């Protein structure tokens, strides 16, 4: 049995990376992994995604490491989710441009409409959840 999780392990680790860096001190990957119990194999990939989303800065060289680049008073759970997972979709038919076989004659499927409403509500809740309140 395969279970798809809404908040993946990778997203969970990303929140923990942000928590680790919330001291605003430059840290090494080893320090972050040790403090947050994150496997090294995940950490580099996660930090790269967080950097691309402008949530983390990467410094190379002898004094290199990682620092928080975002404002914890404005960064939301959705910001981190989107950096790691992309757009939140509850069902494949929510994907822009997808073809739903249950749309007959231009009518919207009631299931699609219900999932779309739930999806938007969940996104709004995630956008209200400031990261500083959960780290």
Residue 26: which CATH number? 1.10.10.10
The percentage of the chain sitting over the pLDDT mark of 90, rounded to a whole number, equals 58
Question: Looking at the domain assignment, is residue 18 inside a domain?
Answer: yes
**Mean pLDDT, residues 65-76:** 95
d(CA 4, CA 80): 18
d(CA 70, CA 74): 8
Number of compact structural domains in the chain: 1
Question: Looking at the domain assignment, is residue 4 inside a domain?
Answer: no
Q: Residue 117's pLDDT is what? A: 87
Question: Looking at the domain assignment, is residue 1 inside a domain?
Answer: no
For residue 95 the two structure tokens come to 């994907």
Q: Residue 82's pLDDT is what? A: 95
Question: Looking at the domain assignment, is residue 55 inside a domain?
Answer: yes
- Which is more confidently placed, 20 or 134? 20
For residue 14 the two structure tokens come to 């990303």
Q: Residue 33's pLDDT is what? A: 96
Question: Looking at the domain assignment, is residue 125 inside a domain?
Answer: yes
Residue 127 belongs to domain spanning: 9-133
Q: Residue 109's pLDDT is what? A: 75
Question: Looking at the domain assignment, is residue 117 inside a domain?
Answer: yes
* Chain segment 89-129, per-residue pLDDT in tens: 877 777 777 777 776 666 777 777 788 888 899 899 999 99
For residue 67, what pLDDT band results from cuts at 50, 70 and 90?
Answer: very high
Q: What are the start-end ranges of the E strands in the chain? A: 56-59, 65-68
CB 32 within 8 A of CB 17: yes
Question: Looking at the domain assignment, is residue 2 inside a domain?
Answer: no
For residue 64, what pLDDT band results from cuts at 50, 70 and 90?
Answer: very high
């Amino acid at each position: 049995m395969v279970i798809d999780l809404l908040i993946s392990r990778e997203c969970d680790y990303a929140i923990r990376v942000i928590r680790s860096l919330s001291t605003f001190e430059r840290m090494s990957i080893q320090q972050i992994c040790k403090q947050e119990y994150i496997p090294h194999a995940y950490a580099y990939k996660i930090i790269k995604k967080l950097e691309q989303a402008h949530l983390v800065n990467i410094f190379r060289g002898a004094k290199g490491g990682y620092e928080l680049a975002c404002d914890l008073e404005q960064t939301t759970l959705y910001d981190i989710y989107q950096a790691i997972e992309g757009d939140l979709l509850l069902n494949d038919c929510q994907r822009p441009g997808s073809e739903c076989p249950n749309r007959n004659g231009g009518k919207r499927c009631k299931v699609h409409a219900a999932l779309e409403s739930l999806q938007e509500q969940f996104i709004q809740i995630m956008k209200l959840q400031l990261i500083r309140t959960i780290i």
